[in-house]
Chain A
């Protein structure tokens, strides 16, 4: 119903009745809507008119002070937001994977345009006095309101970012004719030796990574986007995560109590964005491969392990986040002078993940994960863990190389990877004329 507004008409003509006519005795009356005409007033039918778009009858803006608006993160740019933008990771996230039901290429294109419009609108924020976005069904008097109201009337920017990725299955679907555009190395998620993939938490054609500073914004955005894409995107799995405040300072802690995200790639390292010389199809330049791994952490078991052993498994001191033998989290581990692992065990997580050698430097990746807390397992243990999200220009050389070094690391006993997927994060949208994945269609 894009661009399709009902004929504006006068507000309820004098024929309005308070409600429905009497109904069958004892039956439930239709609720929530009052109607212009009653049974027997067929002549009034021609007088029926939708009473104009809601925008025309919105109340004047409130004059009471609202909380200071959270900043807006630019949606447009050479790369998508949610990877390096904003610089400080937001507090809340949702990772949602969808089946794409678009029946052909044209519908897929429309879907990507709709997602682009949603991403742009939600990133900027929306005031109730703004026109209803074209990608939404327009407001009809007496009809469902254009938004859920979860955030009140105005939608704040709230540092919102939307990051979209496509799985290999989209390129393999003959309906879309994208086989020639398939990025090299975009496969289904590899099953590693310690994985127990759960079909309920794997698969999906399209990834939406929604991040913001509040949980209600995340909920609002997902609900808003699914409404606008109903029938074309089928939600398959989703998980919400949180990024903690620093305790007491520095990098926030994960659910094992360790500071996480201390060491990460800078954009200058040029290992994240797909470049012109990457050998990837031209449309993918400016994109990045997104790996999502849902990893349960057996926190009760972990809490029954001595601190020294915990520190040894990670390779850092829990209290400070410093590498073993160091004093602050920013200290750089010096493996060259610790060849036998006297200070930092050879199989410590950080040492296997990044041995800091010339040979392994190109396997580094950008991590921007979130903790999750889901409920209770069969046996009354907490269902909690890490939504591991990494961004790299090559899945095999970076994520998989790192993951393979981590196979059977001591921490393995305390974690259970059970879901996620591999996606190509689309290049950014330069300006309001473009759309996500535009290059797929040229």
Chain B
């Protein structure tokens, strides 16, 4: 999560190519992490598996796969039980959040090993498909805005919490994903609106600070357990960032 930010691209094509490279790298990392996680689950070492789930989940967040950009495979990897007839018990509930659920609800290898195996396969499939996925030019400007909208809507709302309580960690990873896209787009954005990247970055810095301030002993607390006075700076800074990020897609838009 501390990897450095990419250099700004000079054209939208170059930005898309660089972004694809970034995603490929993240999927490679994720593949390794899920392999480790799968092994821990297989060995019934759930204490080890829990933080390994978080590592994998955070890598996924850093991809910034907002608004279902990876289609069915994305759902298989990062889907939620909502909308499924049997909820958390539904066979259609798979992937990272399914593992999170099991690891925090007393499930063991019998239930979780097959889930981990499928997850591993699905990530491999996505990695394989990546070079042939067409990404719309609209994708990156929208991502700049909407990765963090998802943090608010899905993470900090508690909607996607399957027991890990790691909304803060996920939001920090989302923030990093946003910074990556923003860094790639910096030249393009500033060409349309001089100084806008710096303006956005300032709001993101504040969010960073607010997130970091919630940590206790270097660890992310469970979001719901953070007192209101600690939550307000986070949601406040996130809201402020979203208000300015919301203009990024418009800069590239032809709508009126």
Contacts and interface: CB of A to CB of B under 8 A. Distances in A.
B247 A39 contact: no
Contacts of A199: 228
A391 to B, nearest CB: 28
A139 to B, nearest CB: 9
Contacts of B236: 99, 101, 230-234
B38 to A, nearest CB: 25
Is chain A's interface secondary structure helix, strand, loop, or mixed overall?
loop
A57 B256 CA distance: 8
A345 B188 CA distance: 77
Given A21-B136, A28-B68, A35-B136, A140 B247 contact: yes
Interface of B is mostly: helix
Contacts of A101: 232-233, 236-237
Given A33-B138, A45-B188, A101-B236, A141 B253 contact: yes
Interface residues of B, number: 51
B251 interface: yes
B193 interface: yes
B71 A140 contact: no
A26 interface: yes
Given A21-B136, A35-B138, A230-B243, A141 B255 contact: yes
Interface in B213-253: 228-229, 232-233, 235-237, 239-244, 246-247, 249-253
B241 to A, nearest CB: 8
B199 interface: yes
A1 B233 CA distance: 21
Interface residues of A, number: 54
A33 B253 contact: yes
In the A-B complex, list the 4 residue pairs whose CB atoms are closest, starting with the nearest. Answer: A231-B240, A143-B250, A142-B253, A42-B13
Interface stretch (A46-54, A207-215, A272-280): A46-54
B4 interface: no
Contacts of B246: 143-144
A38 B12 CA distance: 9
Contact of A144 (B67, B142, B247): B247
Nearest to B251: A50
A45 B141 CA distance: 13
Contact of B247 (A1, A43, A44, A230): A1
Q: Identify which of B67, B142, B199, B236 gathers the most chain A CB atoms within 10 Å of its CB.
A: B236
B134 interface: yes
Interface in B110-168: 133-139, 141-142
A126 to B, nearest CB: 19
